[in-house]
Amino acid sequence: MRSAPLLRMTGRGNTMVLTFDDGPDPRYTPDILDTLAAYDVRAMFFVCGETAAENRDLLARMADEGHVVGNHTWSHPLLTSLRRSRIRAEMERTCEVIEKAYGEPPQWFRAPYGAWNRATFQLGADLGMEPLAWTVDTLDWTTPGTRTIVERVENGAAPGVVVLSHDAGGERSQSVRALRDYLPQLLDSGYHIGVPRRPYV
Residue 166 bears catalytic tag: yes
Q: Which of 67, 72, 76, 166 is the catalytic position?
A: 166
DSSP at 81 = G
Tell me whether strands 130-131 and 162-166 are parallel, antiparallel or unpaired: unpaired
Query: Which string of DSSP letters, residue by residue, matches 7-73?
Result: -B---SSSEEEEEEES---TTTHHHHHHHHHHTT---EEEE-HHHHTT-HHHHHHHHHTT-EEEE--
Residues 21, 22, 140, 167: which is the catalytic one? 21
| Residue 140, CA atoms < 13 Å, CB-side half-sphere | 30
Q: Give the C-alpha separation, 142 to 46, whole Å.
A: 19
Q: Which residues are catalytic?
A: 21, 166
